[in-house]
Amino acid sequence: MNVLIKSATIVDSKSDFHNDTCDILIENGIITQIKDNIETPQKTKEISHNNLHVSQGWFDSSVSFGEPGYEERETIANGLKTAALSGFTDVAVNSNTNPVIDSYADIAFLKGKSQGNAVNLFPIGALTKNSEGEDLAELYDMSNAGSVAFYDYQKPIRNPNLMKLALQYASNFDGLICSFPQESQISGLGVMNENVMSTSLGLKGNPALAEELQIVRDLFLLEYTGGKLHIPTISTAKSVELIRNAKKRKLDVSCSVAIHNLVLTDDALKTFNTRFKVLPPLRTQSDCNALIEGLKDGTIDMVTSDHNPLDIEHKKIEFDYAKYGTIGLETAFGALNTIFTLKKTVDLLTKGKERYGLTSIPVAIGQKAKLTLFNPSEPYTLTKDMLFSTSKNSIFEDHEFKGKVYGIYNNQQLVIN
């Protein structure tokens, strides 16, 4: 499909056209012209929207869909459509499925299901067989099939020797090992942040210490093995400090933070609403401030929506028994755009690709067109009818945002809301 994007402000610090308002002509998937004004050629679709902005395609490093096994939560097809309408051209998909994605055939299944889509799906294989934390999964085989990392989604690896072996083994083929930062003996049955709020609500607390102890352990193991480690969704101020110091020691470590952990605190749980039950839990305002500072100085490498669709039967129950998780693709841009400048927001949404072996493509003549289209200034309040996901478990329902996504152009396909 040939497309002419009219009067779009380009937000891309790696482009010669950064901050310019131009027309962009795309022919056979390649950007052929970027000029002040381009006449619409024949058989070309013209795109014109209010306050239209364009950037490199966005990337999310932690997305769950459900299929196979939990299609009632989300299918791959609708999940990828949701990602596209939320501005994401690339998503790394967790093995949060039934059965767990832990073999060559499983990775091939995910790749096959996403074939021909506007959004590129990059599978994350399970680190251990069936994500049970006992034996390593077929890491090398999954890497050959297209797995970009290995992670038992939100399940800590209790056995330090297993983590040591994973780091050593994966270093033979430059594999990225992900370790969920929670020491399960310390976290116990905690369902929210251990703090004054958990005491006043009478809910069992999950202390910051549980996260920080696991990070310290994994950093020592990384220093010993010389492997390649990613720590997903950190949530405490001390975690930021630990990783900052590790990077100063030149350890090959990266980390991410879930966007909701930047915006919301454990005060949100006052109403016992299970929408706010997430893992890691919402922490304190001082933790939020430290996480934001960690993003500003580069200690935290990337943000993620940590998109995790859950059906109503798993959320509309007593707080102790509700599952952890929130959807987040649809609200990622609007939430970040209320905290950071537009340039920083777009920068954060396009970071992390290289860590997962992907390539960033600038908005430039002669380059493949992989673009996100959005309006950064439109305010709105999120309601359920705005959500594209099958499951509606959004932590940000009724929250005020700034910034609307129009859609994407990628793989010679235009997906516009």
Mark whether 96 and 46 lie in a shared domain. no
Residue 19: which CATH number? 2.30.40.10
Tokens of 68: 């196979």
Q: Answer whether 61's CB lies under 8 Å from 92's CB.
A: yes
Q: Tell me, yes or no, whether 88 lies in a domain.
A: yes
Per-residue model confidence as pLDDT tens digits over 142-183: 999 999 999 999 999 999 999 999 999 999 999 999 999 999
Q: Tell me, yes or no, whether 387 lies in a domain.
A: no
Q: Tell me, yes or no, whether 161 lies in a domain.
A: yes
Mark whether 69 and 42 lie in a shared domain. no
Mark whether 207 and 317 lie in a shared domain. yes
pTM score above 0.95: yes
Residue 308: which CATH number? 3.20.20.140
**What b/e string do you get for 56-87 counting C-beta neighbours within 10 Å, with b at 16 or more?**
bbbbbbbbbbbbbebeebbbbebbbbbbbbbb
Catalytic residue among 306, 347, 385, 398: 306
Mark whether 154 and 70 lie in a shared domain. yes
Mark whether 9 and 148 lie in a shared domain. no
Q: Tell me, yes or no, whether 390 lies in a domain.
A: no
Consecutive 10-residue averages of pLDDT for the chain (417 residues): 96 96 98 97 96 98 97 98 98 98 98 97 98 98 98 98 98 98 97 97 98 98 97 98 98 98 98 97 98 98 98 96 98 98 98 97 98 97 97 98 97 96
Mark whether 118 and 185 lie in a shared domain. yes
Residue 411's domain comprises 3-53+365-379+399-416
Q: Tell me, yes or no, whether 255 lies in a domain.
A: yes
Helix-strand-coil percent breakdown of the chain, rounded to 5?
A: 30, 25, 45
Mark whether 227 and 312 lie in a shared domain. yes
Decide if 306 is catalytic.
yes
Mark whether 375 and 349 lie in a shared domain. no
Number of structural domains the chain divides into: 2
Mark whether 28 and 97 lie in a shared domain. no
